Amino acid sequence: MSQTLNTSEPAGPESPDIESAQPNSRRRNIWTLVFSLIALWFINHSLPVYLSLDPNQARIPHLRRDIPWHYPLLVAHVFSGTVALVTVCLQVWPWLRRNHPAVHRWSGRIYVFAGALPSGLLALAIMPFSAGPAGNTVAAVAWLATTVAGLRTARQRRYREHRRWMAYSFALTMQIIWGRVLLIYVLPLFEYNFADPAKLNLALETATWIGFVINLLLAQWWLERTARDTTRR
Ligand code: HEM
């Protein structure tokens, strides 16, 4: 996970060389490729209709045309979310961190200030009109909080904590994808009745919870496992 957003300073006592302390760098490069391909699939699926800036093409059926700022804020959320997805994949790429730390620092700033923070705040702004408000609100608040904590700990050079917070932030950025997989690929396998409004609502709300719960559990498992590896070494 991201070692630091500010690695220009030499490592202090609380900044173990996390990169070199961890084996399996090759495996992590491969995982980064997998994450990037998944993110590209999602971007290719969701971005083009919003690039048109045409509200008629919006995928959400409940777009509020009587509220003039709903569509622009939704589009801004999608654009900044795309920035977050691309840059977070750069952030977790071990090769880039090791060989081009300056690029890592800059893409980290872009991730925070042009991706996660604006996208999370915009998600909260359009939340009242969303189809799965409960799960989305929890996810948006957690996304903002973990990203801010990751930024703060990097600036204070508390790199162990920074790594932990950015692992959660990464998990929350990528969570958006699993809901779409559920809706587009899994439920149709069971001939799910999306025409029934109650069932549609259930599916949309479930889609918002499923991604971030699974991803946070995976992030926690990964943190514990790599902590054990490091201790053993
Ligand atoms: C924790 C993170 C996120 C939260 C809480 C969140 C929340 C939301 C909310 C509330 C909506 C409106 C849905 C509705 O009105 O029913 C939405 C729509 C959307 N979001 Fe996010 N979002 C997050 C991350 C992202 C990311 C990283 C992307 C990447 C591009 C993204 C792409 C989209 C798209 C494309 C839509 C429009 C709906 C669609 O076309 O499928 N979101 N999001």
DSSP letter for each residue of 93-160: -HHHHHH-HHHHHHHHHHIIIIIIHHHHHHHHHHGGG-SSHHHHHHHHHHHHHHHHHHHHHHHTT-HH
Q: Which domain holds residue 29?
A: 25-232
Q: Does pLDDT of 231 surpass 80? A: no
pLDDT tens readout for residues 90-141: 999 999 989 999 999 999 999 999 999 999 999 999 999 988 789 999 999 9
Flag whether 14 is in a domain: no
Q: Compute the distance from residue 184 Cα to the ligand 1 centre, in Å.
A: 15
Flag whether 11 is in a domain: no
- Over residues 202-228, the mean pLDDT reads 91
**DSSP three-state, residue 3:** coil
Q: Which ligand 1 atom minimizes the distance to the CA of 204?
A: 16
The whole-model pTM stands at: 0.89
**How many domains, the chain?**
1
- Which element (helix H / strand E) includes 71? helix 70-91
Q: Compute the distance from residue 66 Cα to the ligand 1 centre, in Å.
A: 20
* Closest by CA position to 120, among listed 160, 80, 63: 80
Q: Compute the distance from residue 17 Cα to the ligand 1 centre, in Å.
A: 35
Q: Is 117 in the pocket of ligand 1 (CB under 6 A)?
A: no
Flag whether 15 is in a domain: no
**DSSP three-state, residue 47:** coil
pLDDT at 14: 43
pLDDT tens readout for residues 23-53: 577 888 999 999 999 999 999 999 999 999 9
Nearest CA to ligand 1 atom 27: 81
Mutation choice for ligand 1 from 40, 89, 136, CB with most ligand atoms inside 8 A: 136
Flag whether 128 is in a domain: yes
Flag whether 86 is in a domain: yes
